[in-house]
């Protein structure tokens, strides 16, 4: 696991977006396509805004959702709302390249199964995204894999529905789907995430985020989120830490 610590949230977001853009260009050149899984949340929206300013071969990119709230189309609670508003306004990506979770389908469980099929059609069998972006909650959740939810134990499906969390049920990729991704990028900002980030870096599986594979993971964090890390333990945690001033 690699960790880049940047001076502030904006710098961490810019560095994360540059990392994704580099991988997207390489994927487009080497394979003719690039599949990107995007999470929601405040930092997720900031990341999409940063990505819109990057030199990315959007014609060869497919964007998929990591998770989504069961809420009406266009609702501010929906992760898709910000993704579409930003990308359609600021990039040439076509709507057919943004693959939405059908959370308003009459049968959401059947919709989850269809999304898993769509994931496989785009990324192969078993499905493996080129890069998946993850956020980190103060309670240690990632995607919509939250403490105590039955989705944490799912190993035979790639997309499932969760119990209500913060007032809404969600659709989410499961650990098998996340852990097959070729590249896992975490964007973690703010001092409120410091304890959870320290647990993530330690590989603590008592938090949901700690169960995501580490060997393909790269974390971009600001100094607030990284404030509880102990560099002296980095080697024991198989963690490579780089401090940066955000330039370059």
Supply the pLDDT for residue 246: 72
% pLDDT > 90, the chain: 91
Q: What is the DSSP string of 84-103?
A: HHHHHHHS---GGGEE---T
Supply the pLDDT for residue 247: 66
| Ranges under pLDDT 50 in the chain | none
| Domains in the chain: ranges and CATH | 2-216 (3.40.50.1360)
Supply the pLDDT for residue 244: 84
Report the b/e string of 116-152 with b at 16+ CB within 10 A: bebbeeebeeebbbbbbbbbbbeebbbbbbbeebebe
CA distance 180 to 176: 6
Supply the pLDDT for residue 230: 84
């Amino acid at each position: 696991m690699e960790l880049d610590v940047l001076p502030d949230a904006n710098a961490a977001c810019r560095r994360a977006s540059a990392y994704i853009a580099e991988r997207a260009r390489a994927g487009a050149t080497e394979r003719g396509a690039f599949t990107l899984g995007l999470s929601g949340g405040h930092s997720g929206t900031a990341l999409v805004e940063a990505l819109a300013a990057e030199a990315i071969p959007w014609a060869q990119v497919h964007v998929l959702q990591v998770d989504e709230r069961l809420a009406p189309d266009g609702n501010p609670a929906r992760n898709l709302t910000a993704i579409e508003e930003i990308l359609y306004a600021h990039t040439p990506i076509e709507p057919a390249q943004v693959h939405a979770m059908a959370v308003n389908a009459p049968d959401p469980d059947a919709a989850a199964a269809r999304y898993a099929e769509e994931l496989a059609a785009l990324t192969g069998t078993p499905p493996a995204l080129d890069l998946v972006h993850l956020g980190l909650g103060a309670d240690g959740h990632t995607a919509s894999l939250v403490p105590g939810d039955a989705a944490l134990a799912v190993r035979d499906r790639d997309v499932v529905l969760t119990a209500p969390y913060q007032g809404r049920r969600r659709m989410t990729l499961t650990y098998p789907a996340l852990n097959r991704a070729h590249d896992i990028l975490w964007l973690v900002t703010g001092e409120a995430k410091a304890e959870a980030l320290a647990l993530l870096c330690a590989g603590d599986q008592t938090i949901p985020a700690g169960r995501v594979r580490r060997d393909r993971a790269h974390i971009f964090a600001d100094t607030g989120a990284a404030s509880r890390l102990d560099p002296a333990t980095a080697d024991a945690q198989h963690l490579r830490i780089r401090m940066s001033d955000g330039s370059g």
